[in-house]
Structure 1
């Protein structure tokens, strides 16, 4: 099966796909492009969905909202960032960084006290820094090696336990073998006091652990939101889902296993 993920070469998504021995592998310049390719039946996708420091990846959340695709697996990868440049640190006049990378390294970048230009990927940061005089980039080690940019300082992330969760997306649900987690998209068709309390109560009464709840604007107007829920699979999850669907509009995003990432 073809796997589609974020490129160019040197992104964390590309590094993860290589660790998982994905072949053939197709790289797209944006997460939106990955969703479009998967929706067109070109293969499965691997996209980042949340980071322990910066939170949800908005492009992925919106892609799940607007495309009828399924989550079929999740993967966790430690994330370490580095300052790389062709000039010494005191000569750097601008930094290129992906927005999520910027947030994950915000304290270090603040101390550099130079302007930051956002890019579409960590690999794009490397390409821009290489062609711009007196520029640096915040990069994974793999990108610095691929684009031959010396690393000036390693592990500049805010938290040394920095981790990104990735998911595999597909046009069809996974086979359902030994799923550990399920994901839902809730799109309330009403606005009333106590609605969120009622929705969460469906799980609380059955002792089902909600591992994540995230709201995103519907883009239908101010004050309207959809909710993403992840929950641990138990013997009562089907019963909970039936009750939830009687209360509000629910789209099942999939039940799936965790795939261990080789070091």
Structure 2
């Protein structure tokens, strides 16, 4: 089946899809479009869900809430940003960068002291730098090579261990071997004292490791949140999940393996 990712060519999503499958993916204009196609069963989606520097990726978290899909795998890609331009660093007047890239490279941008203009993707940053000869794009080495823009500065990221986690989404869940993690969405519907403790205690008392917990506004008003939880799979985890489901509405995204990215 075709693999769909956020385009255009040159995004980190594009890069990770090629590294996973060895084939060119279907490039879509938004992360929401990737979810929509996966929900129809017409594609397998690869989307970024969190970055070690900038945190959760909002459009992906919203997509998990809106669309009926399952998570069938995860992978990790080291993220390194370069500054690419047709002119030298002394002649650059502005930097084009995706908001997540800006967060991940904020210290370097502050040192450079140049105006930063946000774009919809790293690929869009590259295209803007091609349009404006005095502009520079904060992009990957692969994107710079793809669009033929000379690299004038490397290592823009705040942290050398900067990493993005991607998930594979499909219409149906994973049923193979190698499962290591499960993901759920908890929607308490109302705020009560001790809520977070009640949500986590089924896992804590069974000594189950939670690898991630993240809140996201529910859309029902200020102070109302949904919670994303990732935890290690196993029999005890299933017991904890069954206990939790008796107390609050829970949506299961499934359990899945770690995917190998060819670096």
Contact 1:29 1:120 (8 Å CA) reproduced: no
1-structure distance, mates of 2:120, 2:177? 35
2:66 is aligned to: 66
Farther-moved stretch of structure 1 (200-209 vs 112-121): 112-121
2-structure distance, mates of 1:26, 1:81? 24
Contact 1:208 1:234 (8 Å CA) reproduced: no
Cα RMSD (Å): 1.1
CA shift in 2, pair 1:17/1:225, >3 Å: same
CA shift in 2, pair 1:189/1:211, >3 Å: same
How far is the alpha carbon of 1:220 from its aligned partner?
1.8
Per-residue deviation, residues 208-237 of structure 1 (Å, max 9, x unmatched): 000000000011211110000000112211
Q: Pairwise mapping of residues 190-205 of structure 1 onto structure 2 (< 5 A)? A: 190-205=190-205
Q: Pairwise mapping of residues 100-139 of structure 1 onto structure 2 (< 5 A)? A: 100-139=100-139
Contact 1:176 1:255 (8 Å CA) reproduced: no
1:233 is aligned to: 233
How far is the alpha carbon of 1:24 from its aligned partner?
6.0
Contact 1:2 1:24 (8 Å CA) reproduced: no
How far is the alpha carbon of 1:201 from its aligned partner?
0.4
1:182 partnered with 2:182: yes
1:153 partnered with 2:153: yes
2-structure distance, mates of 1:240, 1:76? 27
How far is the alpha carbon of 1:187 from its aligned partner?
0.3
Contact 1:50 1:164 (8 Å CA) reproduced: yes
1:56 is aligned to: 56
Contact 1:182 1:256 (8 Å CA) reproduced: yes
- How many pairs were matched up? 263
Unpaired runs of 5+ in structure 1?
none
Per-residue deviation, residues 75-125 of structure 1 (Å, max 9, x unmatched): 001110001101111111111001111100000011111111111111110
Unpaired runs of 5+ in structure 2?
none
1-structure distance, mates of 2:110, 2:24? 40
1-structure distance, mates of 2:208, 2:236? 8
Partner SS, residue 196 of structure 1: helix
How far is the alpha carbon of 1:141 from its aligned partner?
0.4
2-structure distance, mates of 1:155, 1:180? 32
Farther-moved stretch of structure 1 (37-46 vs 222-231): 37-46
Q: Pairwise mapping of residues 85-104 of structure 1 onto structure 2 (< 5 A)? A: 85-104=85-104
Contact 1:3 1:22 (8 Å CA) reproduced: no
CA shift in 2, pair 1:176/1:223, >3 Å: farther
TM-score normalised by structure 2 residue count:
0.97
1:44 is aligned to: 44
1-structure distance, mates of 2:37, 2:116? 31
How far is the alpha carbon of 1:176 from its aligned partner?
4.2
CA shift in 2, pair 1:251/1:176, >3 Å: farther
